[in-house]
Amino acid sequence: MKRIDLHSHVVPETIIAAMREKPELYRSKIVEEGGTRWFTRGKARFELIPEFYDGLAKVEAMDRMKVDISYISPGPQSFCYWLGEADAAHAAKLVNDGIAGMVAQCPDRLRGLATLPMQHPDVAIAELERVVKQHGFRGVEIATSIQGEELAAKKYRPVLRRAQELKAVIFAHPENIGQTGRLDCYYLTNLIGNPLDTTIMVANLMFSGALDELKELKFLLPHAGGFIPADIGRFEHGHTVRPDTACDTKTKPLSLLRRFWFDALAHNPTAVRFLINQVGADRVVIGTDSPFDMGDLDPITNLEKVPGLTDAERERIFWKNAEEFLGGKA
């Protein structure tokens, strides 16, 4: 049985070199200590192990995790949404061509998801069209918010509409959450901030009417969908009793839930069972978040611990849902 991972990150050598050359522009530092390279931006710091930039190393990690195919997407450190038009277009091309190069190293095991310079919608559309045509990418990774603006905002609708026309899927991933205030301790910016930002994005997509307009566009949510599976009943009730939640759409949140696919990265077998029960076994996929420390380095073993996992559910989660999400054979 195939195992397809839809949430696996890279930081290609192309963008690493650019960050090293122009640290101010990219707001990043690439430093070498004792033969090891490190990425630093603000409080974020991690080792640039070969799995981030070498396709062969990525496949070696996949073998250890018992994963057959990975859709590699840029680590959110590559989004760079503050850049002006020319720099943003160049940075996205560096990242996407770097991902394509990694895929070319192991084309039977790796597939690519692109980044887009979303702060400049026209430039983002041009890059979307390029990566689909030139590299054959079947989707893109976009942050759940763009420099504080909601993905559901009207200014981003043309990008999402063009993705729908191209049948390109959207992997929506948090970028950099909660740098101050109550989340600025105990790594709560990630533990709470990331799933919270995903939840806010979904709420805005639902209540704004964006999903009514983009009826065929598919979204993948990381980290088991944030708090959406547990909070969808509250969304539904609020839409019934609060006029402000229904002013832009009459479509019920529960009916929109199946517009999303969810990775199984909940770090708890009982939580994954809850996710399956809430959203349906046909909407859950493998997501490792490798090689970050909040990832799951033994995803298959951990999925086998899910209470009452049936053969039909296993087949769907391991590969069938991924192929249906992507619109064809992986």
Mean pLDDT, range 107-115, rounded to an integer = 98
Query: What's the predicted TM-score (pTM) here?
Result: 0.97
Mean pLDDT, range 304-317, rounded to an integer = 98
Question: What are the C-alpha distances in Å from 65 to residues 60, 68, 198, 269, 283?
Answer: 9, 9, 26, 17, 22
The model's confidence at residue 75, banded by pLDDT at 50, 70 and 90, is very high
160 touches 125 (CB < 8 A): no
Question: CATH class for domain 4-326?
Answer: alpha beta
Q: What integer pLDDT is reported at residue 317 of this predicted model?
A: 98
Q: Where is 190: in which H helix or E strand?
A: helix 188-191
Q: Which residues contact 114 (CB under 8 A, 6 or more apart)?
A: 74, 92, 95, 96, 99, 127, 128, 131, 135, 137, 139, 140, 141
Q: What integer pLDDT is reported at residue 180 of this predicted model?
A: 63
> Measured between alpha carbons, how far is 156 from 80 in angstroms, rounded to an integer?
16
Would you kindly state where each structural domain of the chain is located, as residue ranges? 4-326
What would the DSSP string read from start to end of 139-152?
EEEEESEETTEETT
Q: What integer pLDDT is reported at residue 111 of this predicted model?
A: 98
Q: Where is 62: in which H helix or E strand?
A: helix 55-65
Q: What integer pLDDT is reported at residue 159 of this predicted model?
A: 98
Instruction: Give the percent of the chain with pLDDT over 70.
Output: 99
Q: What integer pLDDT is reported at residue 107 of this predicted model?
A: 98
Question: What are the C-alpha distances in Å from 294 to residues 164, 187, 190, 230?
Answer: 31, 11, 9, 21
Mean pLDDT, range 112-119, rounded to an integer = 98
Q: What integer pLDDT is reported at residue 112 of this predicted model?
A: 98
Query: Tell me: the pLDDT tens digits for 31-58?
Result: 998 889 999 998 889 999 999 999 999 9
Query: Tell me: the pLDDT tens digits for 139-183?
Result: 999 999 999 999 999 999 999 999 999 999 999 999 976 556 899
